[in-house]
Structure 1
Amino acid sequence: MQQKQNEPRIYVAGHRGLVGSAIVRVLRAQGHTNIVTRTHQELELTDQSQVREFFRTERIDQVYLAAAKVGGIHANNTYPAEFIYDNMMVQANVVHEAWRAGVQKLLFLGSSCIYPRLAAQPIREEYLMNGILEPTNEPYAMAKIAGIKLCESYNRQYGTDYRSVMPTNLYGPGDNYHPENSHVIPALLRRFHEAKAGGAPEVVIWGSGKPMREFLYVDDMAAASVYVMNLPVEVYAANTDPMHSHINVGTGEDVTIAELASLVGETVGYRGRIVFDASKPDGTPRKLLDVSKLAALGWRASTPLADGLRRAYEAFLEQHAVQSREAEREPAAVAA
Structure 2
Amino acid sequence: MDKLIKIFTKESALMPLAAIVMGLLFGAVVMLAGGYNPVTAYGSLVSKVFGNPYDFGETIREITPLILTGLSVAFAFRTGLFNIGAEGQFIMGMTGATLIGVKLQLPWFIHAPLAIVVGAVLGGLWGAIAGYLKAKRGVNEVITTIMLNWIALFLSNYILNAFLLQPGQQRSYPIHDSASLSIGWLSELMGNARMHWGTLLALIAAVVFYILLWRTKQGFELRAVGLNPNAAQYAGMNVSRSIVKAMFIGGIFAGLAGTFEVLGVFHYQVVAASHPGYGFDGIAVALLGGNNPLGVVLAAILFGSLTYGSAGMSFGADVPPEIIRVVIGSVIFFIAAHGIVRWVLRPIYGKRKKGEAA
Richer in helix (by share) = 2
With CA pairs under 8 Å and 6+ residues apart, which has the higher RCO, 1 or 2?
2
Bigger radius of gyration, 1 or 2? 2
Decide: shared fold, TM above 0.5.
no
Richer in strand (by share) = 1
Shorter-chain TM-score: what band? under 0.3
TM-score between both structures, scaled by the size of structure 2? 0.25
